[in-house]
Structure 1
């Protein structure tokens, strides 16, 4: 630590030897605290993170560590993976839905006041709703409420037959 705590003592305590020993002890503890804070600060950023923190990021992103890889290479690989995850926007969601279902295969409505997104998939493709759930799981933030369903209209070929008959009912009172 740069600051000598003994210099911070008031004049009337500087002559007491006990305070000199206390300040030496406190200086050691404060230096440990400062080193721990520096370590935490460095681990907040991928570019300065240590091996333990980089391994946490690697597990999170599914990156496999191979023996002999340098820490700088591992940091660069984590940064590359981190930067490929696109932040969520409605435009990004629309483009992904258009890729999966075409422009006419879904309807999307957004209510920003309640943080609600309503998605209706109109595709009749088998498993279309599963694709939607996978997409939602991957890109939507947790605070957004999602209402989703699949609306499919099936057209079946066939003939309609109609017939009629006449029926009468007679009510008699005796």
Structure 2
């Protein structure tokens, strides 16, 4: 476990451990409720354990205030062909509502920046819901800029299954 000491009294950030799977799932559920997307959460402890600690498909940092978990960030590497190097993609950053406004989100965001720099990543990317004005203001304060010239596309569910079977492969 890596611990990132912050200048905020009684606040530290640490990498998640296997014992944190239930905690991470609870943060995901709280975030989904905040984003009005609770019906989309299908993750469970088994899926998260395998994805995070067996397949290492993503990583998590946890923010703790007075040794109580108050937030998390889940991220993974993607790759920029134009930069020719890996980047970090932030899937979720969440601070419990009662702990917002104390600089914990800024510290978590800064920790992700530190991880990017330590790993030689070219950038940190993420998406934000258009209606989430408080998060948009926060991200802009952190130096982020909206990529309004890009549109996000997604293939999932039945369309993904059909896509995978459009071309027949040998073997």
Fold match by TM threshold 0.5: no
TM-score normalized by structure 2? 0.24
TM-score normalized by structure 1? 0.23
Richer in helix (by share):
1
Higher RCO (CA-CA < 8 Å; seq separation 6+): 2
Richer in strand (by share):
2
